[in-house]
Each structure stands twice: as structure tokens, then as C-alpha cells.
Amino acid sequence: MAYSEFTFDDLKTKFHLNIVEVSGLLHGEPIAPSDWLNETLRRNIPLAGAINTEKARSEFLIAPVLRELKEIHPHISLFSGTEFNVDQAKGLNGVCDFLISRSSEQLRIEAPVTVLVEAKKENLNGATPQCISEMLAAQIFNQNKGSPIQSLYGIVTTGSVWRFIRLEDNTVTIDLNEVYLTPIDRLLGLLTATLKG
């Protein structure tokens, strides 16, 4: 089993998770984007929409936003397409689209891992169990490294639409309010809020 194979039923049965759905999980002060991000998105949004593949959305929409987040918070590390094999016996292994750690070490993943981002072309609901399984792996990884954190966040996104998820102990809270790429200042504020878990 790997992250992508999990279902909601698997997560509830194997990991005894409580899943709660809310509206308005996070609150963050809007953060003004750089001129670079504004110009990048102005050029990339039409292109990503025209190509309309998961890879194009990941490269042209998601990666620039997360790069901007790293610019705002230089103490974090950002990983893309990295294997994150934590516990193969539990199926907590595979590649994460994007992973953010509070460690500034960029050459390898160090604890605490705080945010997991799963890119999907469509179907946020279908990708949510995969993201939650990656969050569980991060929770175990942080505990094993002696750097547990109270709240761990996950995001499932098409690049245009972003869904936020929080894991605390064995409770997963899924925000049913979708956040849109624009206005970007709101999204940057919410992404910053995830780093404070």
C-alpha cells in the first residue's frame, strides 16, 4: 500500500481517526504578494488552464505560490516530488507532491514537517485521503525525530482551488470552504497560518 491507495474507510479503520468537517478552519491576515508572484500568476494562469494537466498546474500555479511562501518565511524548507517513506508496514510511503518543514535545512527532510500539499487536476474529495495519509506519516516522522507539533496541516489543490486540512492527535478536520488562488493575498495569509501549528 502507498499514500495514493488510502480511502477514508482505510484511514478510519487502520488509524482510528475521527474526521470532522467544518467551514472556516484557518484565519490569517492577508499578505501582499511580490511583484514577481503577481506577474508569474498573470502569465501562468491562462497557460496552466489551457494545458490542464496535473503537472502543468503543479509547475505553473502551485510551485510559484509555495516559492513565494518560502521567500516570505526563509526559515522553512520546501521539497517537491520527494519520497517520504515513514512506515511501509502501515502503507505510509510514497512520493509527496510538496512538503514543507520548519527546519531551514534544504538538502534533506528534517523535522518538524508541518505542511503536506497534494496536487490534483480535479477531484479534491478523491485526493483528500491521500493527503491525510501523508499527514499521518509526517506526524509519526516528527514524533520519531523528537519534534512533535500540535497541529499538522495538509492541502489538496488543483492550483486554482485549495482545501485545507488539520491533523491534531487522531482528529482530522477538513475545511469544506474552498479557497481560491485569487485574490492571492488571502491564500498567502492562510498558508502562513499553517506554519504556526
| pLDDT tens by residue, 115-142 | 999 988 888 999 999 999 999 999 999 9
Whether pTM > 0.85 for this model: the answer is yes
- Output the pLDDT for position 71: 98
Q: What is the DSSP letter of 197?
A: -
| Rounded CA separation 140/87 (Å) | 9
- Output the pLDDT for position 43: 98
For residue 24, give the C-alpha cell.
472556516
Count up the domains in the chain and report the number.
Answer: 1
**Helix, strand, or coil (residue 111):** coil
- Output the pLDDT for position 197: 65
- Output the pLDDT for position 1: 82
Peptide bond before 183: cis, by omega within 30 degrees of 0?
A: yes
Kindly list the distances between the CA atom of residue 122 and the CA atoms of 119, 178, 180, in Å, as whole numbers in the listed order. 9, 13, 14
**Structural domain of 180:** 3-194
**How many CB atoms neighbour CB 19 within 10 A?**
16
Q: In degrees rounded to 5, what are phi and psi of residue 53?
A: -115, 160
Percent of the chain whose pLDDT exceeds 70: 99
**67, 71, 74, 76: CA torsion to nearest 10:** -30
